[in-house]
Amino acid sequence: MPPYEEETNTRTPEAPGPPGSGSGAVGDAAPGGAKASRHGRTLLLVAVSLGFVIALLSSSIKNTLTAFYVSMTEDFDVSRGTFAIAPSAFMLTYAIASPVMGFVADRFGARKSLAGGLVLGGLLFLVGGYTESFGVFTLVYGVGLAVSYTAISYVPLGVLVDELFPPHRRGVTYAILMNGTAVGFVALLPLWIHLDEGTVWRSVFQWLGVILLVVTVVALVVLPKEPGAGAGAAQDGGAAPERKSSAGMLSEVLGSRVFWAVSLAFFGCGVTMAFVDVHLVAHLDHIGLGGSVAGTTVALLGAAEIVGALVAGYYCDRGHGLKVLAGSYLVRSLSLVVLMAAPNALAANIFGLLFGITYLGTVVASSMYLINSLDARAKGLALGLMWFVHQIGAFVASEGGGISYDTLQSYDPVVVGSAVIALVSTVIVAVWLPKALRAAGTEGKTGGGADSGTAPETAAGR
């Protein structure tokens, strides 16, 4: 198997830290440290469970707007194109905030990033639920909740996984955390659609605000206080990696060909995800497939998302990220073609299954490339910059869908455009990424594991 087939696990695994220092020591404690080892495993389980809950709650920031889109436009008395300003502003703010939050997570750890985002989200959900002004709502949702979402979703959760787990366990663990968003599709989004009537969205916002504030307290108690205490930071016999300057971190990320290949392909992920997150329910309603059909479609999408994420994580941990990534983009493009070609309930359900299988596959595989190949102090920044590119694509699809409906009374152009862009992402991954990975290998930027396809077992990882 050529070296670039093992791209998601090519970084030299970190050496285990001293017993009791973090997950690197879990499962390999000294004979007298069995109790401490069990305690460490319990803390890891609790931290991962909390991360899952946070991912679930973060999904509500986006899926509430998906479900209540039409009701909100009527409540604020604006057109769909005008209302699209709020989610479009969300996409742009998320784009700008992603590298900033990645830098914050690198510097201060996932715990502080997550807690800050939860507090901000809780307060702004309350404000959004009460305001009668669309202008205020646009600022609350498009700016404030976008910053909150950035601080409690993909980037800091990726840093959390890196802090707690060795390389060969990160893919599945990250997939488990990200499945919180999938459960949001399966449980929360159909619930919001079922509840959607008049101004009920305001009550949902208010309750979510209270819940996020409560979870903040739990996060401060449960999550590790010191960044870099786990397996992800243990290097050179447990010594913390030397802290780089901000310019040095940025230079390393922007100088990586792998980063550029993965991120440019990830633009297509942003375009297609934004169609689902913002316009899918409205599109199904427009073609006469609203109500129960829309609910079933998003439920199938969420269920498939759970399976797809775990499969993606499993194969990424075994060095097959290239196949996961290229396959995900290709299947995603096919799903959009199915939705466009046959606008009926069966096609909508098939779309949900196909798109759902790929929904987190692109996220998990792309994130594992960066987490396992870049310097330990630049991972959050790299993830943030990747999501910056993603959100530019999301902005294009979000705003483009609103304009398309207002001018043509149809979402078809954004469906077709999304399918084409996903196909372009497939080509980038299949053609450019292998070359970037080979170049990175010859430049000595990757370490052990390139030959075996998996990270060699360490005492921390057995």
pLDDT tens profile 130-142: 999 999 999 999 9
Contact 26, 234 (CB under 8 A): no
- Residue 22, sorted as left (phi over 0), alpha (psi -120 to 50) or beta, turns out to be left
Inter-axis angle of helices 110-130 and 154-164, nearest 10: 150
- Three-state SS for 228? coil
Task: Report the 10 Å Cβ neighbour count for 99.
Answer: 22
Q: CA 323, CA 330: separation in Å to the nearest integer?
A: 10
Q: Is residue 370 predicted with pLDDT exceeding 70?
A: yes
Q: Give phi and psi for 4, each to the nearest 5.
A: -75, -5
Q: CA 50, CA 21: separation in Å to the nearest integer?
A: 20
Q: What is the mean pLDDT of the chain?
A: 81
String of DSSP letters for 283-343: HHHHTT--THHHHHHHHHHHHHHHHHHHHHHHHHHTT-HHHHHHHHHHHHHHHHHHHHH--
pLDDT of amino acid 42: 80
pLDDT of amino acid 148: 96
- Three-state SS for 117? helix
pLDDT of amino acid 242: 54
Q: Which residue has the tokens 């196949």?
A: 323
pLDDT of amino acid 234: 45
The residue with greater pLDDT, 446 or 27, is 27
Q: Is residue 448 predicted with pLDDT exceeding 80?
A: no
pLDDT confidence band for 81 (50 / 70 / 90): confident
pLDDT digit string, tens, across residues 174-212: 899 988 888 887 788 878 888 887 778 999 999 999 999
Of the listed ranges 143-147, 318-322, 354-358, 374-378, the one predicted with least confidence: 374-378
Task: From 310, 341, 364, 315, select the one nearest 419 (Cα to Cα).
Answer: 341
pLDDT of amino acid 249: 75
**Domain 3-235+245-442: homologous superfamily in CATH:** MFS general substrate transporter like domains (1.20.1250.20)
Q: CA 393, CA 273: separation in Å to the nearest integer?
A: 9
Token pair, residue 354, equals 């196909």
Q: Is residue 457 predicted with pLDDT exceeding 50?
A: no
Q: Which residue has the tokens 């807690």?
A: 115
Q: CA 268, CA 397: separation in Å to the nearest integer?
A: 10
The residue with greater pLDDT, 180 or 451, is 180
Q: Which residue has the tokens 């079933």?
A: 296
Q: Is residue 6 predicted with pLDDT exceeding 50?
A: no
String of DSSP letters for 177-221: HHHHHHHIIIIIHHHHHHH-STTHHHHHHHHHHHHHHHHHHHHHH
pTM: 0.74
Radius of gyration of the chain (CA): 21
The residue with greater pLDDT, 42 or 276, is 276
String of DSSP letters for 422-453: HHHHHHIIIIIHHHHHHHHHHTT---TTTTTS
pLDDT of amino acid 22: 40
pLDDT confidence band for 389 (50 / 70 / 90): very high
**What residues does 239 pair with on adjacent strands?**
235
pLDDT digit string, tens, across residues 49-74: 999 999 999 999 988 988 898 899 99
pLDDT of amino acid 185: 73
DSSP 8-class letter at 223: S
pLDDT of amino acid 459: 31
pLDDT of amino acid 37: 66
pLDDT of amino acid 453: 33
Average pLDDT rounded to a whole number, residues 109-133: 93
Token pair, residue 447, equals 């370490």
Q: Is residue 98 predicted with pLDDT exceeding 70?
A: yes
Q: Is 412 exposed, middle or buried (0-12, 13-18, 19+ CB in 10 A)?
A: middle
Average pLDDT rounded to a whole number, residues 324-348: 95
The residue with greater pLDDT, 3 or 320, is 320
Q: Is residue 16 predicted with pLDDT exceeding 90?
A: no
The residue with greater pLDDT, 315 or 373, is 315
Task: From 208, 276, 357, select the one nearest 67 (Cα to Cα).
Answer: 276
pLDDT over 90 for what percent of the chain? 41
pLDDT of amino acid 200: 87
Token pair, residue 395, equals 């902005």
Going through 92-152 in order, the beta strands assigned E by DSSP cover: none
Contact 208, 80 (CB under 8 A): no
Q: Is residue 356 predicted with pLDDT exceeding 90?
A: yes
Task: From 310, 261, 273, 266, select the one nearest 430 (Cα to Cα).
Answer: 261
Average pLDDT rounded to a whole number, residues 238-248: 56
pLDDT of amino acid 343: 87
Number of H helices, E strands in the chain: 20, 0
DSSP 8-class letter at 23: G
pLDDT over 70 for what percent of the chain? 82
Q: CA 266, CA 360: separation in Å to the nearest integer?
A: 12
pLDDT of amino acid 58: 92
